[in-house]
């Protein structure tokens, strides 16, 4: 994978994880995921995976 692609995927995972977390703790309402503890747990895990992916993409040598 190319460096910009890894960075983009990492950032996307961080954003998705943050949205899932906020829905899980019922800050963002309006979906079936709102107020569900499962998404409050999965969201930060996905966000951390995104941070690791973005960091790997930023540090990867070309």
What tens-digit pLDDT sequence spans the chain (62 residues)? 788 899 999 999 999 999 999 999 999 888 888 889 999 999 999 999 999 999 998 886 65
Tell me if residue 26 falls in helix, strand or coil: coil
Distance of CA 14 to the CA centre of its chain: 3
Give me the pLDDT at residue 60, please.
62
Domain count within the chain: 1
Give me the pLDDT at residue 20, please.
95
- Separation in Å, CA 44 to CA 1, 35, 49: 24, 15, 9
Domain encompassing residue 47: 3-59
């Amino acid at each position: 994978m190319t460096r910009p692609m890894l960075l983009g995927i990492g950032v996307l995972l961080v954003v998705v994880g943050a949205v899932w977390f906020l829905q899980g703790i019922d800050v963002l309402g309006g979906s079936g995921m709102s107020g569900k503890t499962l998404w409050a747990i999965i969201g930060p895990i996905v966000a951390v995976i995104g941070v690791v992916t973005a960091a790997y993409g930023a540090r990867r040598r070309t």
